[in-house]
Amino acid sequence: MHATNLGASAPAPARALARGDYKTLALAALGGALEFYDFIIFVFFAPVIGQLFFPAAIPDWLRQLQTFGIFAAGYLARPLGGIVMAHFGDLLGRKRMFTLSVLLMALPTLAMGLLPTYATIGVFAPVLLLALRVLQGAAVGGEVPGAWVFVSEHVPRRHVGYACGTLTAGLTAGILLGSLIAAAVNHHFAPADIASYGWRIPFLLGGAFGLVSVRLRQWLHETPVFAEMQQRKSLAAEIPLKAVLRDHGRAVIVSMLLTWMLSAAIVVVILMTPPLLQKQFHIDATTSLLANCVATLCLTVGCVSAGSLAGRFGARPTLAIGGILLAVSYYAMYRQLAVDTSLLMPLYAVTGFLVGTIGGVPLVMVNAFPPVVRFSGISFSYNVAYAVFGGLTPIVVALLMKSAPMAPALYVAAVCALGVVTALFVKETPARG
For position 161, which CATH number holds?
1.20.1250.20
Q: What is the pLDDT of residue 407?
A: 92
Predicted pLDDT at 137: 85
Range 342-370 average pLDDT: 95
Domain match, 418 and 371 both: yes
Q: What is the pLDDT of residue 234?
A: 58
The beta-strand segments (E) located in 159-201 are none
Contact (CB, 8 A) for 369 and 244 = yes
35 pLDDT above the threshold of 90: no
User: Is the same domain home to 333 and 230?
Assistant: no
CA 401, chain centre distance (Å): 26
For residues 23 and 142, membership in a common domain is answered with: yes
Query: Counting beta carbons within 10 angstroms of the beta carbon of residue 49, is it exposed (0 to 12), middle (13 to 18) or buried (19 or more)?
Result: buried
**206 and 336 share one domain:** no
Asked if 37 contacts 173 with a C-beta cutoff of 8 angstroms, the reply is: no
Nearest-angstrom CA–CA distance, 275 and 285: 8
In terms of Cα–Cα distance, which of 301, 300, 299, 321 is closest to 310? Answer: 321
Residue 8 lies in a domain: no
Confirm whether 155 is domain-assigned. yes
**Is there a single domain that holds both residue 278 and residue 352?**
yes
**Is 375 a member of any domain?**
yes
Categorize the per-residue pLDDT at 187 as very low, low, confident or very high, splitting at 50, 70 and 90: confident
What's the rounded Cα separation, in Å, for the pair 66 and 229?
A: 46
Average pLDDT over residues 209-216: 83
In the predicted structure, residue 5 carries a pLDDT above the cut 60: no
**Rg of the chain in Å (alpha carbons):** 21
Query: In this predicted structure, what is the pLDDT of residue 141?
Result: 83
- Residue 431's pLDDT is 57
Nearby residues of 347 by Cβ (< 8 Å), 6 or more positions away? 329, 332, 333, 336, 337
Examine residue 13 and state whether it is found in any structural domain, yes or no.
Answer: no
CA 294 to chain centre: 18
Secondary structure (3-state) at 325 = helix
What is the average pLDDT across 390-403?
83
Candidate from 4-13, 49-58, 192-201, 365-374 with smallest mean pLDDT? 4-13
| Per-chain mean pLDDT for the chain | 85
Query: Which of the listed residues 218, 235, 252 is the one where a domain comes to its end?
Result: 235
pLDDT digits (tens, 9 = 90+) for 249-260: 999 999 999 999
d(CA 111, CA 129): 9
**Same structural domain for residues 330 and 240?**
yes
Do 152 and 282 belong together in one domain? no
75 within domain boundaries:
yes
Q: What is the pLDDT of residue 171?
A: 85
Q: Mapping DSSP to helix (H, G, I), strand (E, B) and coil, where does residue 58 land?
A: coil
Instruction: Answer whether residue 427 shows pLDDT above 90.
Output: no
Domain boundary among 188, 217, 235: 235
pLDDT reported for residue 7: 41
Q: pTM of this prediction? A: 0.83
Contact 289, 181 (CB under 8 A): no
Q: Which of 82-96, 303-317, 318-332 has the lowest mean pLDDT?
A: 82-96
Question: Considering all CA atoms of the chain, what is the largest pairwise distance in Å, rounded to the nearest integer?
Answer: 68
How far does CA 19 lie from the centroid of its chain?
26
Given a cut of 90, is residue 188 above it in pLDDT?
Answer: no
The tally of CA atoms less than 13 A away on the side-chain side of residue 309 is: 20
What gap in Å lies between CA 273 and CA 326, rounded to an integer?
Answer: 14
Q: Can you give the pLDDT at residue 305?
A: 97
At 330, the pLDDT band (50, 70, 90 cuts) reads: very high
- Looking at the fold, whether 271 and 178 belong to one and the same domain comes out as no
SS3 state of residue 328 = helix
Q: In angstroms, rounded to a whole number, what is the distance separating the alpha carbons of residues 263 and 100?
A: 25
Q: What is the mean pLDDT of residues 205-214?
A: 87
How far is 429 from 8, CA to CA, in rounded Å?
12
- Among 190, 207, 235, residue at a domain's last position: 235
Q: Name the phi and psi angles at 296, rounded to 5.
A: -65, -40
Q: Which structural domain, as residue segments, surrounds residue 395?
A: 236-433
**Per-range mean pLDDT, top range of 29-38, 173-182, 294-303:** 294-303
Q: Considering the domain boundaries, does residue 10 fall inside one?
A: no
Q: How many CA atoms lie within 13 A of 391 on its CB side?
A: 19
Q: Tell me how many domains the chain contains.
A: 2
User: What's the rounded Cα separation, in Å, for the pair 372 and 401?
Assistant: 45
Is residue 176 domain-shared with residue 322, that is, in the same domain? no
The per-residue pLDDT for range 233-247, each reduced to its tens digit, is 656 666 788 889 999
**In 3-state terms, what secondary structure has residue 18?**
coil
Q: Are 141 and 79 in contact (CB under 8 A)?
A: yes
User: Would residue 267 count as lying in a domain?
Assistant: yes
**What percent of the chain stands above pLDDT 90?**
39
Query: Do 250 and 229 fall within a single domain?
Result: no
| Within a domain: 1 | no
Name the least confident of 212-226, 294-308, 408-422: 212-226
Percentage of the chain exceeding pLDDT 70: 94
- Residue 50: pLDDT over 70: yes
